[in-house]
Amino acid sequence: MKKFIRNTILISLPILAMILTMDIYLRSLDSSYFMKMNALEENKDSIEIVILGNSHATYGVDPDAFDDFAINLANANQSIFFDKRILLKHIDQLPNLKYVLISVDFHSLGFSNQGERNVWSYYATGVTHPKLRRPFLADISPFLFGYGPNFSFKILIKNLVREKVDNVFYFDLNGAEHGTPKTHKGYIAYKGQNTSEWNKESFQARASHFQKKTSATEKRLVEDDLKDLISILQEKGIQPILFSCPTYSEYNKLFDQKRILEYQNKVQEIAESNAIPFWDYAFENNFSKEDFFNCDHLNEKGAYKFARELNEKLKGLQF
């Protein structure tokens, strides 16, 4: 029996050492979430404009294009559930905040759960989603219960080989090599174009993904979150603005036009009922192929051009 216990301990020690080492490594890991939270903290007294949303806004709105000091807090697959809670957690530390630009794209009202990104975001923001069960376990061991062994080793390999820019890893294993941070304002730019995705098959795959049906209950919860966020901002004297990011014209033709109209009418209804603007660029815009990284994300050039248009609209607002 003693020999069995001894052998068990000897076998277990290397495994425990590996887990401990990976946990230490993962706790020290930067990410786009940490980068944005650090930028928020460093510039909290200067921030006048906050940009929220998913990947369309993450890569599609360059804060440097605004006349006032702007910060981009959008993130890939970030839902309105997280937009709201991340902002409200910090809003009282932003004394000069005037505008909050909330990206509401075709799929934005259909989801709150970010999947595996729930925990990635949690480590930087402290915001938990109901689907993130037992977050205390993720705190105990990021390797076992947070990022998980499979993704953790992918991160390690990518970082060791090449995909680490300015000490920030973006948790986008398919596109990280294209991202370049402007860490002072939370912005990540897509460089050039991903030519491998410029074909009808890729367009159709993305369009089909975003047209998947979502539950009516989920939609109601997301709409309630959005309306509540708008109300809170207005009570604080901060102007909320809804907007959608440009997507490529040939890609837009693959969407069910009836569902596009339903989406536009719903967002317009929310905007009008709260007397706020909805600047809709998703399906009708003046952006050409050269402005896009792929069919539904602007590149660095397009992001600056789009943000300049938003800036001009802000200058024309009268309340």
Q: How confident is the model at residue 158 (pLDDT cuts 50, 70, 90)?
A: confident
Q: How many CB atoms lie within 10 A of CB 54?
A: 25
Task: Write out pLDDT tens, residues 269-302.
Answer: 999 999 999 999 999 999 999 999 999 999 999 9
Q: pLDDT above 90 covers what percent of the chain? A: 74
Whole-number average pLDDT of the chain? 90
In the prediction, which pLDDT does 77 show? 92
Please determine, for residue 177, whether its predicted confidence score (pLDDT) is greater than 70: no
Task: Read off the pTM.
Answer: 0.92
Q: How confident is the model at residue 28 (pLDDT cuts 50, 70, 90)?
A: confident
Average pLDDT over residues 238-263: 95
Structural domains of the chain in order of their starting residue, each with its CATH number: 28-117+165-315 (3.40.50.1110)
Q: How many CB atoms lie within 10 A of CB 75?
A: 31
Please determine, for residue 124, whether its predicted confidence score (pLDDT) is greater than 60: yes
Average pLDDT over residues 96-101: 98
Contacts of 173 (CB under 8 A, 6+ apart): 154, 158, 163
Q: How confident is the model at residue 173 (pLDDT cuts 50, 70, 90)?
A: very low
Pairing of strands 292-294, 278-280: unpaired
Contacts of 293 (CB under 8 A, 6+ apart): 59, 178, 190, 191, 192, 193, 194, 299, 302
CA distances from 162 to 48, 140, 157 (A): 36, 29, 9
Average pLDDT over residues 145-166: 78
Kindly tell me the burial class for residue 302, based on how many C-beta atoms sit within 10 Å of its own C-beta (0-12, 13-18, 19 or more): buried
Which of 180-184, 200-204, 239-243, 312-316 reaches the highest mean pLDDT?
239-243
Task: Write out pLDDT tens, residues 196-239.
Answer: 889 999 999 999 989 887 888 888 999 999 999 999 999 999 99
In the prediction, which pLDDT does 33 show? 92
Sheet holding 49-52, edge to edge: 70-72, 49-52, 99-103, 239-244, 278-280
Q: How confident is the model at residue 156 (pLDDT cuts 50, 70, 90)?
A: confident
Q: pLDDT above 70 covers what percent of the chain? A: 89
In the prediction, which pLDDT does 214 show? 80
In the prediction, which pLDDT does 167 show? 47
